[in-house]
Amino acid sequence: MTIVHHGASDWLPDHETAQQQKEVHKYNVEMQSSLTRPSLAQTGYRGATSGMEAARANSMEARVQQQQKFFTTFLPVHKVTAVKMSPCCWLALLALVPLTLATNPGVKVKLTEKGIEYGKQIGMASLQQKLKTMKVPDLSGTERVAPIGKVKYSLTGMTIVNLGLPKSALALVPSTAISLTITNAFISLHGNWKIRYLSFIKDSGSFDLEVNGLTITDSITMKSDETGRPTVSSVNCVANVGSASIKFHGGASWLYNLFSAYIDKALRSALQKQICPLVADAITDMNPHLKTLNVLAKVDKYAEVQYSMVTSPTISNSSIDFSLKGEFYNIGKHQEPPFSPTPFSLPPQVNNILYIGISAFTINSAGFVYNNAGALSFYITDDMIPPSSPIRLNTRTFGALIPEIAKRFPGMMMKLLVKTVKEPTIFFEPNNVTVQASGTVTAYAIQTNTTLSPLFVLNMEGSVSARLYVTGMKLAGAVTLNKIEMTLETTYVGQFQVRSLDNIFLMVLKVAVIPKVNARLEKGFPLPSIGKMNLVNTQLQVLKDYMLIGTDVQFTG
């Protein structure tokens, strides 16, 4: 290694300066061009997934900016002490930059071997139907057959009358693919034959061909497409036809035995050429079904949740794992929250077909979205209080505790404005879900002309326990109040003891606020799904920082 000292224009070793300076200059020009071009998001590009493509564009631009930051940090234009570095080392350093840009998923999905076996049953039925559509092309040729000499033959009108795939297996090849093996398959064909020999003798008839011991092997790769949906493809397909027996009908029987070997060979070759393209087609036919993954699922008028894959699926010895974004957004406005998903791993459970892990980040992103939309702010009026309650939202009830209210606003109804000051935060601990919320409560007296006169503003810190459950293809919930703490922020009716209002507000929260929240939570939000998928035998566990849904799956239609 040679250490040299150079200025801004000649920081490289002398014998490599010219060429490598050209490379650096070319890179800087490209980087500057990339940074001065407007991003796709800035030029108004909107794709079918409502902003996902723009987010990808911004991610790419951020990557370019980070690489430029790397260069300006480690390759300053001032005089530096440079170290001679091989191109391999240089590329290795560049490779480190993108690694810091990886996105942790908010949702993880694990498809177990039980699920793969269930998928195989569906897939093999589809493959069998696909192979039954096989069109074996007409065959013709000339063969020399002793003792009669040249024989011209043609095989036409061949159709498959039966096909079976009695034994098949799917195996996971870690980090590579899904291995498909089909053995002992059989095909029955019926067709017509014609021959001509000795220039003037013709013969014709029909035949039945039985092919046994058919073996098909293939590898199925699974990746993420440009929309973040899974896609599969066939690679390395091989088909081998085992034994074949042919039975001719019509014509001279003595010629059948002489000629059957040639026909057998031709038909086996034709079948082998037809099988793998059909297998590839059957695998590719799965992609339209996979494209039904709800990568952007609408929740309500405020929110949608994104389930696009952030990386290609990971194949292990016992499962295929999918990392999904799992983030809520305001509809039409994809703003990232001021927090990021933390890494988490699903436990090695395999009893169910599917496991869905939903992180606290996903639920907290929902709180961020609804808070931004103003959906967590609402009024409480007296008609929301049960008629049987002795506590009413009027100046008489509050005036008994705060005399100035009764004095200045006698005989008036009241209204409370409950408003969050920041997004609520959910905490997942084993078998426990807690939500912390911060907000304000503003009390108003309703004048006879409907004008609202402010009475006081309270700061409120609240804690609720949540119960989560799966209903249909949605995750729903319900909360119960744990505790609240209130302090006086502003008063327009003189000083008073906030504690004196505790019982009133506890009642109001329990009979008006909590039911309103639960009515919304009962509607739930969509879980990731493909096609007409139903969840059965569902179990839900709350673990540290995430919740786990274990379930079996059924497809209808």
For residue range 3-22, what is the model confidence (pLDDT) as tens digits?
Answer: 333 333 333 334 444 444 45
- Cβ partners under 8 Å of residue 167, min gap 6: 182, 183, 184, 185
Looking at the structure, tell me whether residues 270 and 146 fall in a common domain.
yes
Looking at the structure, tell me whether residues 130 and 151 fall in a common domain.
yes
pLDDT tens-digit profile of 118-172? 989 888 999 999 999 988 889 888 888 777 788 888 889 999 999 999 999 999 9
Domain assignment present for 540 = no
Q: Which of 264, 503, 233 is nearest to 391 (CA)?
A: 503
Q: Which of 300, 363, 296, 305 is nearest to 519 (CA)?
A: 300
Looking at the structure, tell me whether residues 73 and 125 fall in a common domain.
no
- Give the residue numbers spanning the domain of 413: 377-470+478-525
User: What is this structure's pTM?
Assistant: 0.77
Q: How does residue 221 score in pLDDT terms, banded at 50, 70 and 90?
A: very high
> Rounded distance, CA 120 to CA 126, Å?
10
Residues 358/364/370/372 CA torsion (nearest 10 deg): -140
Contact between 507 and 484 (Cβ < 8 Å): no
Looking at the structure, tell me whether residues 156 and 274 fall in a common domain.
yes
Q: Which of 380, 319, 12, 294 is nearest to 174 (CA)?
A: 319
Over residues 371-388, mean pLDDT: 95
Q: How does residue 256 score in pLDDT terms, banded at 50, 70 and 90?
A: low
Domain assignment present for 370 = no
Single-letter amino acid code for the residue at 538 = T
> Rounded distance, CA 525 to CA 300, Å?
9
Local structure of 9: helix, strand or coil: coil
Displacement of CA 362 from its chain's centroid (Å):
13
Over residues 31-35, mean pLDDT: 44
Greater confidence (429 vs 54) lies with 429
Looking at the structure, tell me whether residues 257 and 156 fall in a common domain.
yes
Report the pLDDT value the prediction gives residue 263, as an integer from 0 to 100: 75
Domain end position, chosen among 235, 255, 289: 289
Q: Which CATH number characterizes residue 260's domain?
A: 3.15.10.10
Looking at the structure, tell me whether residues 90 and 137 fall in a common domain.
no
Angle at alpha carbon of residue 60, lines to 57 and 61, rounded to 5°: 90
Looking at the structure, tell me whether residues 283 and 150 fall in a common domain.
yes
pLDDT tens-digit profile of 75-99? 443 333 334 444 444 333 333 333 3
Over residues 429-447, mean pLDDT: 98
Report the pLDDT value the prediction gives residue 244, as an integer from 0 to 100: 84
The total number of structural domains that make up the chain: 3
pLDDT tens-digit profile of 227-240? 999 999 999 999 99
Domain assignment present for 504 = yes
> Rounded distance, CA 84 to CA 20, Å?
11
Looking at the structure, tell me whether residues 156 and 281 fall in a common domain.
yes
Angle at alpha carbon of residue 486, lines to 494 and 393, rounded to 5°: 65
pLDDT tens-digit profile of 465-476? 999 999 999 999
Domain assignment present for 443 = yes
Domain assignment present for 512 = yes
Report the pLDDT value the prediction gives residue 254, as an integer from 0 to 100: 62
- Cβ partners under 8 Å of residue 513, min gap 6: 380, 418
Q: Which CATH number characterizes residue 491's domain?
A: 3.15.20.10
SS (H, E, C) 265-320: HHHHHHHHHHHHHHHHHHHHCCHHHHCCCCCEEECCCCEEEECCECCCCEECCCEE
Domain end position, chosen among 42, 66, 99: 99
Residues 331/335/340/346 CA torsion (nearest 10 deg): 20
Report the pLDDT value the prediction gives residue 144, as an integer from 0 to 100: 81
Single-letter amino acid code for the residue at 254 = W
Residue 336: C-alpha distances to residues 365, 371, 413 (Å): 8, 13, 41
Domain assignment present for 309 = no
Domain end position, chosen among 50, 68, 99: 99
Looking at the structure, tell me whether residues 197 and 244 fall in a common domain.
yes
Angle at alpha carbon of residue 520, lines to 516 and 522, rounded to 5°: 115
Single-letter amino acid code for the residue at 66 = Q
Looking at the structure, tell me whether residues 400 and 482 fall in a common domain.
yes
Domain assignment present for 348 = no
Domain assignment present for 191 = yes
Looking at the structure, tell me whether residues 192 and 239 fall in a common domain.
yes
Torsion sign, CA atoms 321, 327, 333, 336: negative
Looking at the structure, tell me whether residues 160 and 126 fall in a common domain.
yes
